[in-house]
Amino acid sequence: MKRILFTLLALISFTPAWSQFGFPKPVFKATFSKTQAKAGDVVDIIIRFNVAKGFHVYSEKSDCGDDNGPIRASIDFTPNPSYQLVGKFYGVGDHMVKETDVFNCTTGEFTGKGEFRQKIKILKSLPAGGIQMLFNGQICNEGGCDNIRDVKITTPGLEVSGTAEADQTLTQPSVTVSDAVDTVATAPTEAPIAVSAEAPAYKQGKVLPLKTFNGQANEGQSSGFWGLFILAFLSGLTALLTPCVFPMIPMTVSFFIKNNNRKIALRDAGIFSLSLIGFYTILGTIVAVSFGSNAVNFISTHWIPNIFFTLIFIVFAVSFFGAFEINLPSWIVNKVDQQADKGGITGAIFMAVTIALVSFSCTGPIVGTVLVEAVHGDTLRPIVGMFGFSLAFALPFGLLALFPSWLNNLPKSGGWLNSVKVVLGFVELAFALKFLSIPDQTYHWGILDREIYLSIWIVIFSLLGLYLLGKIKFSHDSDIQYLSVPRLGLVIATFTFVAYMIPGLWGAPLKGLAGYLPPLSTQDFNSNIKGGAQGEGNITTTPSYANQLHIPHGLVGYYDYDEALAAARELKKPLFIDFTGHGCVNCRKMEEKVWSDEAVLDILKKDYVIVSLYVDDKKINLPQSQWFTTAAGKKITKLGDKNAHIEESYFGKTTQPLYCLLDANENLLQPALGADHFKFAVDPFVEFLKSGVDQYNKRK
């Protein structure tokens, strides 16, 4: 009765336009998971379709009961002795929605695009016209619904060799209709094979031995110290070119050499340089001790520090644009300056501190940028970062004290120093978006989709290019009479960067910015999708959380460890674990530079069951039946916390990415490795994957 009522309400609520022209029905396209097969092989029929914007198509999942709720999807497969159905068909990528307008129940829905799968066992060559099937279902929007009736779908041909007997333990119903599912957990339509009644090891509330391969757990990862050091060193050189620092270089060096005693001048310059390095390194040490490695995950992914960093970067940018200056209290500067006037070793030390304090309005934002980057990692990173910054900052003072004649070759101060500050302001503004993007992904806010992020960067760097051309001028800027060659070079580089980003609005991968942009899955329009590469992988059931999380390059896999392990056991394939994160820069670099290679994709599609475990997700809650307590007494209720716990308790790591290959008994097939091992190169990653498959086959 309720279904009749629902249909009547849907018909009544049609808008005049839709009643005249009908709803935009999806177009179905069927393919096989293989292009060749042997008799006896189990092959997936993959049925894909697009759903018009603003509409949704119901999947086969529902807890509404047979006589209640909207019309669920059903597929009638034409019986034929050449194949045998294996299990029931199931949807991939649908999400569960509570129907409250008419029915008090939950149904599965596809928006944007959809996919159904049906496993079949090949018995002999298929009919020349392919496998025939009929689809029935319902498409709706906020205004009403329309039925999808008897849509004929035909598979392409499939090259088959040999013959096989039918499996009597399998059923081949003429019509496949799914049963109701547990909608709370968006569970698969069929229960995975039960391996053991005992809870998984990570849930047993005890400290576990690390998983090893031939006694080796994993290869230690460096924390990218060299990359941070180089960034910090370049930042220190940049700080020298600001209006607060550059004019002070000749004055400070003159202080060292004024007494005409070269030995004393070199001593004072050395002490000054070492004191400057020590001052900033101590600052880095204080930050390292204050935060420590245990706070890294919180700082990297939680919304509070990332929103704080976003606001700080915006304040720094506005300061560089000339709206105000960030100055320390004058009494601090005066007190230190008095000590510097005493001369000698003490004077050199306090002069270094004075330089650091006086130049704070220009160097503060740069130092802050380095520290913010440094705290996203190992405890030593802030120390390394400040050492690199201060080394570059102190270098000119020491060198000019050694070679005072070089002072005559320094460029004169002028308006170009203000231009340096403004350029840095634009860069700070661009980087502020990166910190906003991290919680946007980890909490699924949906504020900064990829094309929005790119659009803002394109505007920022276009304005920077116009500023360098002299078309935009701030209040403290001098008039530009002509373009110098270095300035023209910066203009060309800036607009080239803008031109590089523009194709990204239509889905270009932009590998050079991998890790700094939101993932392609957040982009609404992507003209770069390869139809044949989408939706390929090894799964046995509908992956939970597929509507909220993604695996790059159209790969199909799981987002829950237990589901993936069950599928790997059922399909008799090794398990590829990708410990990843929304805010993980190296994860995106590996995906764009390594995973995108055809050789890598081919192995992942054919030989592995893939599971991407997001350790930093803050929003997705586990079904209450999956909650557990760790050995440390922490109650795990969120998917991200569960994944982080598995990585730490099984593999002794908290870094991402971490790639682990397991067999059906959860034993490592190779050491667990991170991005630093592969150096973002394809060949070692392919070798890693092939070695895992070889080891798995040996154990079989």
Identify whether 445 is part of a domain: no
Give the lowest-confidence range in 43-47, 382-386, 500-504.
382-386
Instruction: Give the pairing of strands 74-77 and 175-176.
Output: antiparallel
> H or E stretch including 116?
strand 113-122
The Cα–Cα gap between 542 and 90 comes to 7
Closest to 555 in 3D by CA, of 586, 595, 589, 584: 595
pLDDT tens-digit map of 416-475: 667 877 888 898 888 888 888 888 888 878 888 889 999 999 999 999 999 999 888 887
- Is the domain of 674 the same as that of 538? yes
Identify whether 26 is part of a domain: yes
- 441 touches 583 (CB < 8 A): yes
User: Can you count the helices (H) and strands (E) in the chain?
Assistant: 20, 21
- Is the domain of 96 the same as that of 14? yes
Residue whose structure tokens are 């339509």? 189
What pLDDT is stored for residue 190 in this prediction?
A: 34
Identify whether 193 is part of a domain: no
CATH code assigned at 559? 3.40.30.10
Domain boundary among 368, 394, 413: 413
pLDDT, mean of residues 31-46: 86
Instruction: Give the pairing of strands 159-161 and 175-176.
Output: unpaired
Domain boundary among 413, 432, 452: 413
- Is the domain of 168 the same as that of 280? no
Count other C-beta atoms under 10 Å from residue 570's C-beta.
18
- Is the domain of 114 the same as that of 245? no
Does residue 700 register a pLDDT over 60? yes
The total number of residues written for the chain in this structure = 700
Domain boundary among 413, 432, 449: 413
What pLDDT is stored for residue 380 in this prediction?
A: 72
| Alpha carbon distances (Å) from 672 to 263, 611, 677 | 55, 15, 10
Closest to 52 in 3D by CA, of 13, 23, 92: 23
Does residue 595 register a pLDDT over 50? yes
The Cα–Cα gap between 75 and 81 comes to 18
Residue 43 carries which side chain, given as an amino acid letter? V
Identify whether 317 is part of a domain: yes
* Reported pTM: 0.57
- Is the domain of 148 the same as that of 230? no
- DSSP E strands in 583-688: the ranges are 609-614, 628-629, 635-636, 658-662, 673-674
Identify whether 475 is part of a domain: no
Query: What φ, ψ does residue 189 adopt, rounded to 5°?
Result: -70, -20
Domain range for 115: 2-176
Count other C-beta atoms under 10 Å from residue 226's C-beta.
11
- Is the domain of 153 the same as that of 34? yes
- Is the domain of 371 the same as that of 258? yes
Identify whether 300 is part of a domain: yes
Structural domains in the chain (count)? 3
Q: How confident is the model at residue 100 (pLDDT cuts 50, 70, 90)?
A: low
Identify whether 434 is part of a domain: no
Average pLDDT over the chain reads 77
- Is the domain of 269 the same as that of 367? yes
Taking the alpha carbons of 550, 551, 552, 553 in that order, is the dihedral positive or negative? Answer: negative
Q: At what angle do helices 485-501 and 450-469 cross, to 10 degrees?
A: 160
- Is the domain of 680 the same as that of 585? yes
Q: How confident is the model at residue 296 (pLDDT cuts 50, 70, 90)?
A: low
- Is the domain of 277 the same as that of 351? yes
**% of the chain with per-residue pLDDT over 70:** 71
- Is the domain of 149 the same as that of 231? no
- Is the domain of 153 the same as that of 240? no
Identify whether 501 is part of a domain: no
What pLDDT is stored for residue 236 in this prediction?
A: 79
| Alpha carbon distances (Å) from 120 to 17, 46, 131, 669 | 42, 11, 11, 30
Query: What φ, ψ does residue 470 adopt, rounded to 5°?
Result: 90, 10
Across 305-309, 328-332, 462-466, 524-528, which has the greatest mean pLDDT?
462-466
DSSP state of 244: T
What pLDDT is stored for residue 358 in this prediction?
A: 57
